[in-house]
Amino acid sequence: MANTSIKVLTYNIHKGFSVANRRFILHDIKVLLRHVDADAVLLQEIHGERTISDNRFDDWPNNRQFEFLADQVWDHHAYGKNAIYKSGHHGNAILSKFPFIEWENIDVSYMRSASRSLLHGTLEVTESARKIHIICVHLGLFERERESQLRILGERISSHVPADEALIIAGDFNDWRGNAGRHLHELVGVEEAYKKIHGCYARTFPAKLPFLSMDRIYFRGLDIVDCHRLHGKPWSQLSDHTPLLAEFKIPE
């Protein structure tokens, strides 16, 4: 059977608002995501429910944000609550052209005031008869918090991802010091896609003038083809993060 490729995009969409919440830009994000046409889209800071905004914005979707973005392109999607508040909640989502075998949201909160989770989905890539484990992450702001969350992530992979099955971990790592890659390589043997191609981590934050490396795509059991930032206009006018897009070959 010939190798099959998979394109993966990760993007912190800032709940569908521009920097400083000046504009509601979810419709613009929807158009651009369709243009990129990735096979799997990993999103952070995406609303599951938000009741207050229904009355403030005429173009607020009638369905949930991940359903609105996925409509007619990504038939399969999973959403995991992260931050919960009176007017709703937001979290992580995976949109996929491939069906889910299963998915689970894992609470990795270190503090009550900062809820965090890992969204782990197992995809069935029908063309290659292979499984791919996709884990969407949004780690905490503090070093000790991230260390705890990375340890839980490593334990999850060790117990739920067989060594012969492909793995992608992507999202907003809040890891401007670059420690997560070392931990993950030691714990579960992954490599970072952009660094593998370009020799350094991608600078993805803030989007208008990115100088911090916050967003990553780690992988194992796949062959990297390419990885690049989607920077400059119009992306820099949307969320405060820059998306990363990677393409992999799936070995037989």
**pLDDT for 185-233, tens place per residue?**
999 999 999 999 999 999 999 999 999 999 999 999 999 999 999 999 9
Rounded Cα gap, residues 166 and 123, in angstroms: 10
Assign 2 to helix, strand or coil. coil
Q: What topology is assigned to 4-250 in CATH? A: Deoxyribonuclease I; Chain A (3.60.10)
The whole-number average pLDDT for the span 234-249 is 96
CB atoms within 10 A of CB 248: 25
Using an 8 Å Cβ cutoff, are 103 and 125 in contact? no
pLDDT at 49 over 60: yes
Using an 8 Å Cβ cutoff, are 42 and 11 in contact? yes
Query: What's the pLDDT score for residue 1?
Result: 43
pTM beyond 0.85? yes
pLDDT at 65 over 60: yes
Per-residue pLDDT band at 119 (split at 50, 70, 90): very high
Query: What's the pLDDT score for residue 134?
Result: 98
Structure-token match 């930032």, residue found: 229
> Domain map of the chain by residue range?
4-250
Per cent of the chain over pLDDT 90 is 76
Assign 47 to helix, strand or coil. strand
- Phi-psi bin for 194: left (phi > 0), alpha (psi -120 to 50), beta? alpha
Per-residue pLDDT band at 50 (split at 50, 70, 90): confident
Four-CA torsion 202, 203, 209, 214, nearest 10 degrees: 130
Bigger pLDDT: 97 or 20? 97
Mean pLDDT of the chain: 91
